[in-house]
Structure 1
Amino acid sequence: MKAGQARVLLTGAAGGIGRAMVEALTARGAQVLGVGRGADGPGAAWLQADVTTAEGQQSIVRAAAGWNANVVVHAAGVPAFGPLAGVPAERLQQVLTTNLLAPMQLTQALLPQLQRLPRAQIVFVGSVLGRIGLPGFSVYGASKAGLQGFAEALRRELGDEPVRVQLLAPRTTRTGFNDAAAQAYNDATGAASDTPEQVAAALVELIESEAAERTLGGAERVFARLNGLLGARMDSGFAKHRRSLAAPAKPIPGHRS
């Protein structure tokens, strides 16, 4: 649908990418209800809620109904980077809960009201790291790979229903707090990172095109296809990057919107 027709419920709206998304959507005429853990955030409409709790999810579902949201964008997420040995157990659980379980639960709760609309869209913000397993991104990549699988299966499950399921897969994005992870991605792949503004622009284009998926970066699209075809044969190509992670280290400081 055209952005001017969209009433968007956007989780993770207080983060670097989320703020850019709010700005890009509103600039194109969309109405945006931002969701985040803080008391306030970007844009005119705001809901304070934690996507990982039952109470937060219930308040989001109620707000979506009152807002008459016809587009849901799951952009809330937390990063994790470093050797698996250095990822605390509580961090591992936080990443999987925020990046994978919460959007699954919210989608299940929101789907009945979206199915009553003439047309609606659900956009999952994944990552190319859900398609290309890189050293240091095992936990984060697992969460995004799961999200990709969920989106793909749900899209096929809904079939010809008026609810479109879409996946946006950006590269690592430099938001200030995760630049170390972004640099590691650049070193491992030889590819560039995205800016929040590039991801936000891609989101608007995806919503308006109603395409099933959008992966940022031409090299990444090719690499993802090769990874799917060749799999383990590509493992040795990451030896240098793997050795740089040999010493266990703490993951980068977290951020959750």
Structure 2
Amino acid sequence: MAMATAAAAGRGGTRTALVTGASSGIGAAVATALAARGYRVLGTSRDPSALADPAPGVTYLPLDLTDDAGIEACAAAAGEVDVLVNNAGESQSGPIEELPPEAVQRLFQINVFGAVRLTQLLLPGMRRRRHGRVVMVGSMLASFPLAYRSSYVASKAALKGFANAARREVAPYGVGVTTVEPGSIRTGISERRTQYLADGSPFTAEYRTMLSALNANEARGIHPAKVAATVIRAIEAPRPRPLYAVGSNAPVVFTLRRLVPDAVVERMVARRHGLR
């Protein structure tokens, strides 16, 4: 543990990390990995008192990303934070013309606006201390768009866009901002995804084909601990890369992404999900 503690220690002692959505899946895996490496870890959950299996070594704070006052209260309770992992999010699917506007707004509030607001509140302290890391947990769908996932794809692309543009602003102050894009991960998110499909929708058959393939891919996906290991790499790299990808054969598909036209990539993604 001495080496792990040294990895997390800075000039003022042990580093503090805040991981949103740390009650399950990727967030719990990241929080557990950071605690094992000697970080003081704060995790968030909508209702910490209801957690049946909290991550070991993690102190939980309440956070509802749809509540601006709650976001500010969470940041105040966290205090000085050296590492922020914006992981909390919601998955959504449905034909674009059948997505209720209020559902899309909620998705962006959770996946984008809430994460950006929390980042805004914690960045000034990192900048003053001239050290910090912000990791946006996105999705490979932001780089490889999939039909019937338009709102989710757009929200993760927006999160990456904020990270990409803000990186240069804070880099001179020793703060690194990066995005980690997981592919198919076994987190049980298939059961929690919000879905919108109108009765008698002309898209029903194709939508259900896509969904069946998506769920099967996620069931065969990598363990969240592998994503957590990638997040740790991004946090502890002296100069974090703008983008890290893990799962779904990421090294090969991202190389292919650079070599072939967008239209070809889109057809390949569609075919992987049973769409022609």
Q: Pick the aligned partner of 2:43 from 34, 53, 66.
A: 34
Higher Cα Rg, which structure = 2
> Aligned Cα RMSD in Å?
3.0
Q: Which amino acid aligns with 2:190?
A: N
What's the counterpart of residue 134 of structure 1? 146
For the residues of structure 2 that align with 1:48 and 1:141, how far apart are their CA atoms? 27
Does structure 2 conserve the Cα–Cα contact (< 8 Å) formed by 1:132 and 1:224?
Answer: no
Q: Which moved more, 1:200-209 or 1:116-125?
A: 200-209
How far apart, CA to CA, are the structure 2 residues paired with 1:150 and 1:196? 24
The counterpart of 2:59, out of the listed 45, 48, 53, is 45
1:19 aligns with 2:50: no
- Tell me the equivalent position of 1:90: 102
| Residue from 160, 172, 180 that aligns with 2:172 | 160
Question: Which of 169, 184, 195 is equivalent to 2:213?
Answer: 184
The aligned residue for residue 234 of structure 1 is 265
1:198 matches 2:212: no
| Partner Cα separation in structure 1 for residue 268 and residue 73 of structure 2 | 46
Please state whether the residue corresponding to 2:261 is helix, strand or coil.
helix
> TM-score, normalized by length of structure 1?
0.81
Map 1:60-71 onto structure 2 (within 5 A).
Answer: 60-65=74-79, 68-71=80-83
Q: Which consecutive unaligned segments of at least 5 residues does structure 2 have?
A: 1-5, 194-209
**Do the aligned partners of 1:21 and 1:197 also contact (CA within 8 Å) in 2?**
yes
TM superposition shift of 1:243: 6.8
Q: 1:96 to 1:225 in 2, by over 3 A?
A: farther
Contact 1:174/1:182 (CA < 8 Å) preserved in 2? no
Number of positions where the alignment pairs a residue of Structure 1 with one of Structure 2: 242
Higher-RCO chain (CA-CA 8 Å, sequence separation at least 6): 1
Deviation at 1:99, TM superposition (A): 0.8
Instruction: Report what 2:206 is aligned to.
Output: none
Pairwise CA distance, 1:218: 7.3
1:146 shift after superposition: 0.8
Distance 1:113 1:20 in 2: 26
% identity of equivalent residues: 34
Name the amino acid aligned to 1:194.
I
Q: Is the 8 A contact 1:11 1:75 kept in 2?
A: yes
1:204 and 1:235, CA in 2 relative to 1: closer, same or farther beyond 3 A? closer
**Cα distance 1:39–1:218, how it changes in 2: closer, same or farther (>3 A)?**
closer
Q: Deviations over 1:38-85 (max 9, x none)?
A: 1335244121121221111111221232xx211111011000133334
Report which stretch shifted further, 40-49 or 162-171.
Answer: 40-49
Partner Cα distance (2:101, 2:26) in 1: 26
What is the rounded CA distance, in whole Å, between the counterparts of 2:182 and 2:46 in structure 1?
Answer: 23
